[in-house]
Structure 1
Amino acid sequence: MNISIVIPCYNEEENIAKLKTELLPVLMNLSQGDEVETIFVDDGSTDATWPLLHQTFGDLNLPGVHFVFLQHEVNRGLGAALRTGFAAVSGDLIVTTDSDGTYRFSTIPALLACLTPGVDLVTASPYHPQGGVAGVPRYRLVLSQGASFLYRVLVNWKVHTYTCLFRAYRRKVIDTVSFQSNGFLAGTELMVKAMLKGYRVAEFPAVLYARQYGTSKAKLIRTILAHLRFQWRVFLHRLRLVALA
């Protein structure tokens, strides 16, 4: 199968060298049996991210590996960057990942291996009993752990992590499930809507590492409010289903 890897980037110039070192061996491994395209979406960076992506990856000639470079003229948010990337994919299987390597790129093959028959979406899960967190400040975990707990109550208790970007999708999920958020809610919105639509989700127990370079772009208060509003809509949807039963 063809594989597409979508990597949103925003002011990540400090991470580009690390990205190349850690990602290229994975792409070369995957390309042994599949065609692999990597789609970088620069979401209106104001630093040197855009030229550095081209300088680092643009002239590489790797059999079975292709690079696509897309750019927003202004910063539009993670969700908008994902939609831009999804509109350009050609693969049957689609991976989304952070550019900072907080989930190890080396685990992409294992993530994809969890897309067994009957599984439509695989999400990395640091909050799974077999997952873990390494070096991430406690205050940064409050949002994702708290939000994931509420989604477990509202959607599916067996799924432990709802907030990460590191995932693998079958193409049909991307083609049939829409999401409106332009911000960091987008990945959660996509997964929750896919689950409510009947798509089966599997978890890949993973370790979430602290970023080594740069700073997180998530705005905590804004993201918390977005999750609460979306959770309220999910709750109302569940109530309507109960009323109709």
Structure 2
Amino acid sequence: MTASTANSARPGLSIVVPLYDEAGGVADLVARVGDFVAAESPRRELEVILVDDGSRDGTWDALGAAIPAGDPRWRRLRHDQNRGLTAALRTGTDAARLPFVAWLDADLSYEPAILAPLVAALDEGADLATASCHMRGGRIAGVPWIRGWLSRQASRLYRLATGRRVATFTCMVRAQRRELLLATWPERQGFLGVTEQLLRALGRGAVVVEVPATLHARRSGRSKLRVARAIRAHLGLIAAARRGL
């Protein structure tokens, strides 16, 4: 088998990474994602789409310096102003050219290596595979207690509202079939859109698999999560989920 056929034996994967004011962590991010790309390339075609969501701290220039020069698998896209997480994910997803799409946090709160078991679950027939720090085998390490508490409680309420046996509803790190993602695109913006998209996928009868993972404290920069706003937003979405969205 030639190299060109070897890396097309399985469906290709587009990795979408939204960034906002993450200049300090860009080099580490690109290096770690690059490790995954190198390991996975013999099995499938890959591309990495990095979306700078209107950063003001030099993230765009840091990306230009960090991504491998002349490697067409790496692309950087830019919003001229901050438009929010869901908009950045949409820009990256629209640019994706391959049948599987994965989302990854820029702050490395989940190691890029988690993409391997996520995409393997798609190979085995899942429609969507999500990282899960709350399922058996998952854990939280070094994260401020309020973030872990909020995620646990929100996921518990989503389970009660939907009757779905999903341990973690709030994790952005997931891989899924591109056609499912586009068919279940959320109406809500920001972090809330991530949970809404999972709810919509479940509502369509998608086969959803959780993969145990460790949620780490971010390696650099500041969290964009605002706790009070997040609580209010999740309560609204939980109520909508009870009504079937």
Note whether the superposition's TM-score is higher than 0.5: yes
Q: Which amino acid aligns with 1:14?
A: G
Identify the residue that residue 20 of structure 1 maps to in structure 2. 30
**CA separation of 1:157 and 1:175: change in aligned 2, threshold 3 A:** closer
1:220 to 218, 224, 227: 227
Contact preservation (8 Å) 2:52, 2:77: yes
Contact residue 23 and residue 105 of structure 1 kept, 8 A: yes
Whether the aligned pair in 2 keeps the contact of 1:76 and 1:182 (CA below 8 Å) is no
- CA shift for structure 1 position 227: 1.2
Partner residue of 1:11? 21
Structure 2 residue 191 is the aligned partner of structure 1 residue 181? no
Instruction: Give the match's secondary structure for 1:213.
Output: coil
Query: Match of 1:202, SS?
Result: strand
Aligned to 1:32, which of 42, 49, 54?
A: 42
1:130 and 2:130 aligned = no
SS at match of 1:26: helix
After TM superposition, give the deviation of residue 117 of structure 1 in Å. 4.0
- Matched with 2:56 is 46
Task: Tell me by how many angstroms 1:29 deviates.
Answer: 1.3
Cα offset, 1:131, TM superposition: 0.6
In structure 2, distance between residues paired with 1:116 and 1:155: 27
Distance in 2 of aligned mates of 1:60 and 1:103: 27
2:161 & 2:147 partners in 1: Cα distance? 22
Q: CA deviation at 1:107?
A: 2.2
Equivalent residue letter for 2:159: R
Deviations 1:185-227 (A, max 9, x none): 1110100011011111100011111112111111222222111
* Residue number among 213, 216, 219 corresponding to 1:209 in the alignment: 216
TM-score, normalised via structure 1 length = 0.91
Distance 1:108 1:95 in 2: 8
After TM superposition, list the pairs within 5 Å mapping 1:103-118 onto structure 2: 103-118=110-125
Deviations 1:68-95 (A, max 9, x none): 2111111111111111111111111111
Matches within 5 A, 1:21-170: 21-57=31-67, 59-61=69-71, 66-170=73-177
Separation in 2 of the partners of 1:23 and 1:191?
24
Paired amino acid for 1:30: E
Cα distance between partner residues in 1 of 2:103 and 2:163: 22
Alignment check: 8 A CA contact 1:183 1:223 kept: no
How many pairs were matched up? 235
| CA displacement at 1:21 relative to structure 2 | 2.3
- Taking structure 1 as reference, are residues 157 and 58 closer, same or farther at Cα in structure 2, changes over 3 Å only? same
How far residue 157 of structure 1 moved from its aligned partner, in angstroms, is 4.0
Name the CA shift for 1:125/1:217 in 2 (closer, same or farther; >3 Å). same
How far apart are the structure 2 equivalents of 1:162 and 1:60? 38
Is 1:229 the counterpart of 2:236 in the alignment?
A: yes
**Residue 180 of structure 1, CA deviation:** 1.4
In 2, Cα distance between equivalents of 1:93 and 1:156: 27
Identity of aligned residues (%): 38
- Give the Cα–Cα distance (whole angstroms) in 2 for the partners of residues 19 and 237 of structure 1: 37
CA distance in 2, matches of 1:30, 1:54: 23
Q: Is contact 2:140–2:148 with CA below 8 Å preserved after alignment?
A: no
How far apart in 2 are the matches of 1:210 and 1:120? Answer: 29
Give the aligned residue type for 2:44.
D
1:81-132 residue CA offsets vs partner (Å, 9 max, x unmatched): 1111111111111110101111111221122112244410001010002111
> CA–CA distance in 1 between the matches of 2:83 and 2:150?
22
3-state SS of the aligned residue for 1:180? coil
Match of 1:242 in 2: none
Q: Which residue of 2 aligns with 1:241?
A: none
Off by >6 Å, runs of 4+ in structure 1 = none
